[in-house]
């Protein structure tokens, strides 16, 4: 085959035109998918597409320069290239069998490997009808995921997205529509790829089976999975998903028959990496090991993507008989077995103490279904969405975590049950309440400058710096708030300067909050010494009713103040008491609004100015009754 390029050109001329980047006259991707599905319908025993291959070139340059010629060598054309696996090309073939094409292509120096485009299917549903409703969320046998107890802690984040990679989703379903992701970067119907992600008008995900922007479910399987993951909760309609505030991204690659190709599944995963979707539910399987898909999973881990997969419905041990995609060894893949409402392993469920991670409810699961209806289905397909929902909730509660931290939280909080002991790696089933228990550590705050007990002359610009670190949230220094015991808020952030501090001894507090409500703080003491004469006190203080409060006004009589402090007292049994500084305003201010804490009382207000030389005496008092 020394002259394979010449042979390729001859074969290309015989086979017809070769795909080029500017070939927009026909939808090559959709045509390839339809041809593959027609082949599968004609022979349901096929394990891979007899008319296409996945070819990995050693370099992206080789893929760009040689792909069309090499496709012509097997009598086909390039369908698409993938950025999730650089150098990977999906190509058709018509001149030879898949086996012969692989044997030929692997002799070429440009090719790293060639492999079949395996057919995969949604996980089959056993023929044992049931009518249980949401026992997987909560049941008296306690073999559920403790969803209500979890929702008492956290109900999710409406901005967090989870992809359902399946037969599509009935995105108009009344129990799903409010939780369907709408792409904010895309303008519907303008036939432009507004957000530049490679998909035109992908307003609510994509249909990779037909290569269009309408991922509507024509099977039912994907809609059922989506309902368990994230049906709208607390809306008085139907059911509630585990993550009942999350946004579902429908990614269809399985056809109405429930089948699809690995090349289309690759496109779904690539969509997740391009758009930053960090969790996907994958209730499908079949075919053999794909180097291309395993590499894509590795690339997805780089954006923190967790790929939750159904273990399979053959009742077999995945340790000895792998079931893909659940059996890929990537640590961002979570494989899920199924249990019944009595806690037993579902008879159909695959297992494997080395290759299946956790169990979840999967028998007789009630969820959303086309059209605007509900149904009970069984399978590891139904178990996987329970786990994907818990993963979604963990990630949403801890948005700065790595996928490894999310995985560890899921595994470390399972509920051990005997049927999973020695059957799955964790020995238990996923538990939402345990996963969301707030064992959050507080931020650690350090004030690095100025030093404790430092002293400065009034009017000196004092620089404050500090750090805040948190186990879950990382560096929070930019969110530090700084307060003074004499003046209240004086600045924010990791570093700032203030030249308008009052004369006196300040207790300075640096405070930091994390995303889970944890609080950390540090304090120091500094003294500001007088530098010159204090400003003149304001005069003509007046109070006026303003809505539910009082507006205090005054006449500014000084030219060298840093600001003004407003002081309030309350009359109790005929005596004014409870002296309180209610606010500080900047220089040249002449008014301040305050709302006293109680009505039907009498209050009085006074104002002092302050500057480098200290504070003035208080002005005369002005009373106010509310």
Confidence check: pLDDT of 2 > 50:
no
**Cα(39)–Cα(50) distance, integer angstroms:** 8
pLDDT band of 446, cuts 50, 70, 90? very high
- For the chain, the distance separating the N- and C-terminal CA atoms, rounded to the nearest angstrom, is 98
Cα–Cα distance measured from residue 305 to residue 294, given in angstroms and rounded to the nearest whole number: 13
Compute the mean pLDDT over every residue in the chain, rounded to the nearest whole number: 90
Token pair 């794909």 in the structure block, residue: 290
Cα torsion 500, 506, 512, 513: sign: negative
Question: What pLDDT, in 10s, does the model give residues 225-279?
Answer: 999 999 998 888 899 999 999 999 999 999 999 999 999 999 999 999 999 999 9
Q: Quick one: pLDDT band at residue 599, thresholds 50, 70, 90? A: confident
At 357 the pLDDT is 98
Structure confidence at residue 287 (pLDDT): 87
**Tokens 């991707």, located at residue:** 29
Mean pLDDT of 60-71: 86
The predicted-structure confidence for 287-306, as pLDDT tens digits, reads as follows 899 999 999 999 999 999 99
Residue with tokens 């004092």: 462
Q: Over range 139-146, report the average pLDDT.
A: 90
pTM of the model: 0.67
Residue 128 has pLDDT above 60, yes or no: no
CATH homologous superfamily of domain 4-121? Answer: Peptidase S8 propeptide/proteinase inhibitor I9 (3.30.70.80)
Q: How confident is the model at residue 439 (pLDDT cuts 50, 70, 90)?
A: low
Which residue numbers are catalytic?
166, 221, 381
% the chain with pLDDT above 70: 93
Give the range among 98-107, 342-351, 425-434, 587-596 with minimum mean pLDDT: 98-107
Decide if pLDDT at 27 tops 80.
no
**Cβ-based burial of 105 (10 A; exposed 0-12, middle 13-18, buried ≥19):** buried
pLDDT of 130: 30
The domain defined by 444-529 folds into Immunoglobulin-like (2.60.40)
DSSP class of 594: E
The whole-number average pLDDT for the span 421-426 is 96
pLDDT digit string (tens) for 197-218?
A: 989 999 999 999 999 999 999 9
The domain spans of the chain are: 4-121, 135-435, 444-529, 539-625
Q: Is the pLDDT of residue 155 over 70?
A: yes
Reported CATH class of domain 135-435: alpha beta
Same CATH topology for 4-121 and 444-529: the answer is no
pLDDT tens digit sequence for 6-21? 333 323 322 322 222 2
Q: Above pLDDT 90, what percent of the chain?
A: 75
Task: Report the distance separating Cα 168 and Cα 532, nearest Å.
Answer: 75
What is the second-level CATH architecture of the domain 539-625? Sandwich (2.60)
Specify the pLDDT at position 13: 29
CA distance 334 to 301: 12
Residue 141, classified by CB atoms within 10 Å of its CB into exposed (0-12), middle (13-18) or buried (19+), is exposed
Average pLDDT over residues 23-33: 65
Is pLDDT of 25 > 70?
A: no
pLDDT score for 123: 57
Helix (H, G, I), strand (E, B) or coil at 7: helix
For residues 176-182, give the mean pLDDT. 97
CA distance linking residue 181 with residue 203, whole number of Å: 8
Contact 203, 191 (CB under 8 A): no
CA distance 417 to 340: 12
pLDDT in tens, 492-548: 999 999 999 999 999 999 999 887 667 899 999 999 999 999 999 999 999 999 988
């Amino acid at each position: 085959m020394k002259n394979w390029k010449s042979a390729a050109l001859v074969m290309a001329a015989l086979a017809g035109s070769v795909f080029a980047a500017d070939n927009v006259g026909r939808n090559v991707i959709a045509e390839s998918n339809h041809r593959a599905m027609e082949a599968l319908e004609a022979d349901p025993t096929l394990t891979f597409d007899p008319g296409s291959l996945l070819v990995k070139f050693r370099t992206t340059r080789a893929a760009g320069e040689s792909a069309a010629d090499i496709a012509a060598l097997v009598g086909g054309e390039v369908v698409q290239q993938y950025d999730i696996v650089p150098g990977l090309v999906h190509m058709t073939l018509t001149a030879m069998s898949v086996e012969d094409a692989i044997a030929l292509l692997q002799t070429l120096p440009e090719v790293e490997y060639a492999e079949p485009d395996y057919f995969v299917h949604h996980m089959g549903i056993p023929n044992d009808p049931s009518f249980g409703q949401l026992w997987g969320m909560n049941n008296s046998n306690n073999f559920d995921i403790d969803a209500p107890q979890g929702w008492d802690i956290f109900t999710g984040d409406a901005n967090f997205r989870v992809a359902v990679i399946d037969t599509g989703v009935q995105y108009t379903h009344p129990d799903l529509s409010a939780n369907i992701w709408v792409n904010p970067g895309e303008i519907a119907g303008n036939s432009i790829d507004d957000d530049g992600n490679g998909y035109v008008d992908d307003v609510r995900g994509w249909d990779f089976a037909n290569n269009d922007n309408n991922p509507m479910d024509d099977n039912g399987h994907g809609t059922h999975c989506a309902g368990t993951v994230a049906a709208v909760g607390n809306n008085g309609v139907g059911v509630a998903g585990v993550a009942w505030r999350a946004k579902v991204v429908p990614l269809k690659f399985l056809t109405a028959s429930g089948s699809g190709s690995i090349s289309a599944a690759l496109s779904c995963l690539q969509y997740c990496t391009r758009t930053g979707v960090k969790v996907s539910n994958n209730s499908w399987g079949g075919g053999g090991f794909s180097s291309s898909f395993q590499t894509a999973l590795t690339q997805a881990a780089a954006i923190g993507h967790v790929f939750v997969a159904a273990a399979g419905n053959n009742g077999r041990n995945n340790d000895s008989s792998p079931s893909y995609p659940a059996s890929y060894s990537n640590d961002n893949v979570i494989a899920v077995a199924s249990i019944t409402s009595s806690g037993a392993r579902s008879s159909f469920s695959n297992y494997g103490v080395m290759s299946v991670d956790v169990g979840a409810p999967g028998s007789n699961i009630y969820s959303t279904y086309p059209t605007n209806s509900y149904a009970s289905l069984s399978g590891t397909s139904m178990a996987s969405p329970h786990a994907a929902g818990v993963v979604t909730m963990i990630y949403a509660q801890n948005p700065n975590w790595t996928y490894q931290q999310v995985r560890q939280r899921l595994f470390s909080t399972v509920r051990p049950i005997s049927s999973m002991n020695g059957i799955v790696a964790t020995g238990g089933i996923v538990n939402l309440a345990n996963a969301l228990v707030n064992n959050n550590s507080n931020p650690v705050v350090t004030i690095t400058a100025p030093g404790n007990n430092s002293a400065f002359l009034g009017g000196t610009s004092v620089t404050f710096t500090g750090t805040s670190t948190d186990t879950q949230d990382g560096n929070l220094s930019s969110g530090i708030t700084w307060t003074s015991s004499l003046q209240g808020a004086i600045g924010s952030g990791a570093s700032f300067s203030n030249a308008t501090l009052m004369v006196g001894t300040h207790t300075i507090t640096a405070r930091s909050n994390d995303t889970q409500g944890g609080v950390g703080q540090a304090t120091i003491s500094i003294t500001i010494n007088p530098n010159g004469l204090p400003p003149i006190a304001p005069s003509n203080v007046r109070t006026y009713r303003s809505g539910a409060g009082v507006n205090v006004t005054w006449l500014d009589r000084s030219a060298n103040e840093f600001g003004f402090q407003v002081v309030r007292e309350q009359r109790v049994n005929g005596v004014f008491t409870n002296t309180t500084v209610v606010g500080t305003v900047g220089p040249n201010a002449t008014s301040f609004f305050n709302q006293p804490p109680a009505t039907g009382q009498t209050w009085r207000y006074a104002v002092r100015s302050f500057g480098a030389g200290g504070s003035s005496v208080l002005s005369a008092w002005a009373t106010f009754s509310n």
